[in-house]
């Protein structure tokens, strides 16, 4: 009899069941193991494949991946390995691959289609390297800006995060997982990871399950609806129960209630963390049992899990049904991905021309252009006037590739190479400005000015001297990699080092001052907002941040970015996310303004837009209806541009306290100078849900304010009233 699992004509379910019946307990638990290639020796890696039938490796590239895959395909059952990598912004751990802006910067584009294309490019380059799985997208919400991983999020809003996540998942996974250039996506970190108390990474999220359902679940629900292949369980605990051991949120909520059909992988060494960090298990056997019972299917980098789970399953302490469920889910994804049908092994040199190719770089540049946000532009300082003949570029981030790239590139992970020379040409802000200035006959001088971290490393006088002879000063400041990422939560969001002193000294030169921000998260910069003549927010912009910013500065591109996250005046003002709850006595700290420095959805253009004629297709409807919201937007300025129309909803009276407003739709559209466009956004009434006190998702009858405009500020929004009956 032939092996059904090797027969391409059989269904995936038939093939999985046949293979599962042939597997020993050792092989099943081996499939649940993900081994970090950088954490074991080459001999140990080979033994994990040949002796324990390991299911997956991470951070394995090129010839190393091909070697291990050959070993796997030659084992008794020939179960292929699944190779995973943190390709969270392109295949950026591979020097020579396309590096996109970070997720936070991507979100500034408010452009789902461009973000889908970024996912497609990433999939093509990752698959060309013989790998199959990216640990992306990140669906955590950036609500406490002290958290070190804000740069990895799509911002503070559940709706925007869900829409952009679904788009990039579609890009990663393509039309079919079995396509040669499709890879598995991974929605992480499930769930409420960024809500750690005090912005502390991997700490306790002191929230209720009702709050989990209301705020943090919606993006993950959209990921399930987008058929995201895998989820990653998060480090932290929720109200004292580690997510790794949390059966309620993993097995019951995600798998049973939402119907998630893929598999769940733990985050790095999460199972051991139950013992050494969270102290809810005294030994590996207890930790392994808790992890499996909770609903984790694959165990990342806790290699001691294998022996512990094998012993417990052999003794019946862990039911074999739970092991089979986990392995069935893993095998299902391997079959759907086509690993059993020739996709597992990539010959050396196959399709590698796709990595960093011109077509892919063009996508990165297009996205980067829409990721930059114009925060200030007093007296139309930008674009620069033709009379400018000399520019001084000053600041520690003007020519700093590592700060511009940010986290999760070959410069920082998995083994940091901060001094490695990029194989692709990078446009820093200095080189980007110089390139376009030269074409216009404009001279450029440069001075670093100061260091980001070290206050003693400064030459303010030299920077002022450099600026004194220029017609305009462009100061490039912000933060650096040492201030962002895991283990790098930050209490003080003010400009560090001598950057504030540098800016104040440059301002005294009396020249127009343009500030470019290069940063992994919003910073507290009230002086910059008040004193700079123009401010550009770039976050961590990847390969082409300098080129895109220069194009805006010289007027070749009209900025269209909008903030996906709010900026505070001061670290002590946190949190400042727009969709806060009402009821705070006074609504502000007595020594701080009521509103954020810059609000969610905010972003300027070189042109101006006027909103009018807000109209609802229905003013009364049921919970099963869809209302079409339309508004006229007129480009009143001299430039063609792209405007993101934003739709917010306020629940006037509800049975639980609801946010003052919530984003429920948006559309980015091109509008020519002098043109009026009628923008229509469909609003399914089911999106007006609340989570009631019994944790049920319901749409309650009553009035809802429908608010439409260019950003989330009350003064920017037109209002209509919808009644749900």
Burial class (CB within 10 angstroms; exposed 0-12, middle 13-18, buried 19+) of 594? exposed
Identify the bridge partners of residue 447 per DSSP, sorted by sequence position. Answer: 394
Which pLDDT score, from 0 to 100, does residue 349 have?
65
**Whole-Å CA distances, 554 to 558, 606, 637:** 10, 11, 17
Q: Nearest-5° angle of CA 325, CA 330, CA 336?
A: 120
Other CB atoms within 10 A of residue 713 CB: 17
Cβ–Cβ < 8 Å for 503, 527: yes
State the alpha helices, DSSP H only, in 295-347. 305-315, 320-337
Cβ–Cβ < 8 Å for 159, 662: yes
Give the span between the Cα atoms of 281 and 605, in whole angstroms: 55
Give the span between the Cα atoms of 401 and 422, in whole angstroms: 9
Q: Are strands 390-394 and 299-300 parallel, antiparallel or unpaired?
A: unpaired
Cis, bond preceding 457 (omega within 30 deg of 0): no
Q: Choose, from 86, 201, 267, 533, the residue flagged as catalytic.
A: 267
Main-chain dihedrals φ then ψ at residue 392, nearest 5 degrees: -105, 120
| Type and span of the H or E element at 12 | helix 12-22
**Whole-Å CA distances, 339 to 127, 471, 579, 609:** 12, 60, 44, 51
Edge to edge, the sheet with strand 609-616 lists: 609-616, 626-635, 676-684
Tokens coding 691: 């989570």
Cβ–Cβ < 8 Å for 308, 43: no
The Cβ-side half-sphere exposure at 284, using a 13 Å CA radius, reads 13
Cβ–Cβ < 8 Å for 300, 269: yes
Dihedral sign for Cα atoms in the order 432, 435, 440, 442: positive
Tokens coding 650: 């306020």
Other CB atoms within 10 A of residue 623 CB: 15
With CA atoms as reference, report the closest residue to 621 among 580, 682, 576. 682
| Type and span of the H or E element at 666 | strand 662-671
Main-chain dihedrals φ then ψ at residue 119, nearest 5 degrees: -65, -40
The residue written with tokens 């092994």 in the block is 345
Give the span between the Cα atoms of 256 and 278, in whole angstroms: 26
Tokens coding 450: 């100061």
Which pLDDT score, from 0 to 100, does residue 413 have?
87
With CA atoms as reference, report the closest residue to 140 among 158, 124, 121. 158
Q: Is 406 helix (H, G, I), strand (E, B) or coil?
A: coil
**Whole-Å CA distances, 526 to 150, 522, 567, 725:** 20, 12, 10, 45
Q: Is 35 helix (H, G, I), strand (E, B) or coil?
A: strand
Give the span between the Cα atoms of 327 and 308, in whole angstroms: 17
Give the span between the Cα atoms of 648 and 710, in whole angstroms: 11
Tokens coding 452: 């980001």
With CA atoms as reference, report the closest residue to 397 among 436, 369, 432. 432
Tell me what percent of the chain is helix, strand and coil, each rounded to the nearest 5: 35, 20, 45
In 114-165, beta strands by DSSP E: 133-134
Burial class (CB within 10 angstroms; exposed 0-12, middle 13-18, buried 19+) of 24? exposed
Edge to edge, the sheet with strand 133-134 lists: 133-134, 82-85, 56-58, 33-36, 299-300
What confidence tens digit (pLDDT) does each residue in 591-631 have?
999 999 999 999 999 999 999 999 999 999 999 999 999 99
Which pLDDT score, from 0 to 100, does residue 10 have?
96
Q: In terms of pTM, does the model score above 0.95?
A: yes
267 is catalytic: yes
Burial class (CB within 10 angstroms; exposed 0-12, middle 13-18, buried 19+) of 240? exposed
Give the span between the Cα atoms of 200 and 211, in whole angstroms: 19
Main-chain dihedrals φ then ψ at residue 595, nearest 5 degrees: -100, 165
The residue written with tokens 């009434």 in the block is 685
Tokens coding 258: 């939402």
State the alpha helices, DSSP H only, in 174-283. 209-211, 217-225, 270-276
Which DSSP symbol is given to 339? G
Give the span between the Cα atoms of 285 and 306, in whole angstroms: 10
Widest distance between CA atoms in the chain: 86
Residue segments in the chain with a per-residue pLDDT below the cut of 50:
none
Give the span between the Cα atoms of 541 and 397, in whole angstroms: 12
**Whole-Å CA distances, 81 to 124, 302, 333, 443:** 19, 17, 11, 55
Give me the count of residues in the chain.
725
Tokens coding 208: 């209720």
Give the span between the Cα atoms of 375 and 523, in whole angstroms: 13
Give the span between the Cα atoms of 697 and 688, in whole angstroms: 10
């Amino acid at each position: 009899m032939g092996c059904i699992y090797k027969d391409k004509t059989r269904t995936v379910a038939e093939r999985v069941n046949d293979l599962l019946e042939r597997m020993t307990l050792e092989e099943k638990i081996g499939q649940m193991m993900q081994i970090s290639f950088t954490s074991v020796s080459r001999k140990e890696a080979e033994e994990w494949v040949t002796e324990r039938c390991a299911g997956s490796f991470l951070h394995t590239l090129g010839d190393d991946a091909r070697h291990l895959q050959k070993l796997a395909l030659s084992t008794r059952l020939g179960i292929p390995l699944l190779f995973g990598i943190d390709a969270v912004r392109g295949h950026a751990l591979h020097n020579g691959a396309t590096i996109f802006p970070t997720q936070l910067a991507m979100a500034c584009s408010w452009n789902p289609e461009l973000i889908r294309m970024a996912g497609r490019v990433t999939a093509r380059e990752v698959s060309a390297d013989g790998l199959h799985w990216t640990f992306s997208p990140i669906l955590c919400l950036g609500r406490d800006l002290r958290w070190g991983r804000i740069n990895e999020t799509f911002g503070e809003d559940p709706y925007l995060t869900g829409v952009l996540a679904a788009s990039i998942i579609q890009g990663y996974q393509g039309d079919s997982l079995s396509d040669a250039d499709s890879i598995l996506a991974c929605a992480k970190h499930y769930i409420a990871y960024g809500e750690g108390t005090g912005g502390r990474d991997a700490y306790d999220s002191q929230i209720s399950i009702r709050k989990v359902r209301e705020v943090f679940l919606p993006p993950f629900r959209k990921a399930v609806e987008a058929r995201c292949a895998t989820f990653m369980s998060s480090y932290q605990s929720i109200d004292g129960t580690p997510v790794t051991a949390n059966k309620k949120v993993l097995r019951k909520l995600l798998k049973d209630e939402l119907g998630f059909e893929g598999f769940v992988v733990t985050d790095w060494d999460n199972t051991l963390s139950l013992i050494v960090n969270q102290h809810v298990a005294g030994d590996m056997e207890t930790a392994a049992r808790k992890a499996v019972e909770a609903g984790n299917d694959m165990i990342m980098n806790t290699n001691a899990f294998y022996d512990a789970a094998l012993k417990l399953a052999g003794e019946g302490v862990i039911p074999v049904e739970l092991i089979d469920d986990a392995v069935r889910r893993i095998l299902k994804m391997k079959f759907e991905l086509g690993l059993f049908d020739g996709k597992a092994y990539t010959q050396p040199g196959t399709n590698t021309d796709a990595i960093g190719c011109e077509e892919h770089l063009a996508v990165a540049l297009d996205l980067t252009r829409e990721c930059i946000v114009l925060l200030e532009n007093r007296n139309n300082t930008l674009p620069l006037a033709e009379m400018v003949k000399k520019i001084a570029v000053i600041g520690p981030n003007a020519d700093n590739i590592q700060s511009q790239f940010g986290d999760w590139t070959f410069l920082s992970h998995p083994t940091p190479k901060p001094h490695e020379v990029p194989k692709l040409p990078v446009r820093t802000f200095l080189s980007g400005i110089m390139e376009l200035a030269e074409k216009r006959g404009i001279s450029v001088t440069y001075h670093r000015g100061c260091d980001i971290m070290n206050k003693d490393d400064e030459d303010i006088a030299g920077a002022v001297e450099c600026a004194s002879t220029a017609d305009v000063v462009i100061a490039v400041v912000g933060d650096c990699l040492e201030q962002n990422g895991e283990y790098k939560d930050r209490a003080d969001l003010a400009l560090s080092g001598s950057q504030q002193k540098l800016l104040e000294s440059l301002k005294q030169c009396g020249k127009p001052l343009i500030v470019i921000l290069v940063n992994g998260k919003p910073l507290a910069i009230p002086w910059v907002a008040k004193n700079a003549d123009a401010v550009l927010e770039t976050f961590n912009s990847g390969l082409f941040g300098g080129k895109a910013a220069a194009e805006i500065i010289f007027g070749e591109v009209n900025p269209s970015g909008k903030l996906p996250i709010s900026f505070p005046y001061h670290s002590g003002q946190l949190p400042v996310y727009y969709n806060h709850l009402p009821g705070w006595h006074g609504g502000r700290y007595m020594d701080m303004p009521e509103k954020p420095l810059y609000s969610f959805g905010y972003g300027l253009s070189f042109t101006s837009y006027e909103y009018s004629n807000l109209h609802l297709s229905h003013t009364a409807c049921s919970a099963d209806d869809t209302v079409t919201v339309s508004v006229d937007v007129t480009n009143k300025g001299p430039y063609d541009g792209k405007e993101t129309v934003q739709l917010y909803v306020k629940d006037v009276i509800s049975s639980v306290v609801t946010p003052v407003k919530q984003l429920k739709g948006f559309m980015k559209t091109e509008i020519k100078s002098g043109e009026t466009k009628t923008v229509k956004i469909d609003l399914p009434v089911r999106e007006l849900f609340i989570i009631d006190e019994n944790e049920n998702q319901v749409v309650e009858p009553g009035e809802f304010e429908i608010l439409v405009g260019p950003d989330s500020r009350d003064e920017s929004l037109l209002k209509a009233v919808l009644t749900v009956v």
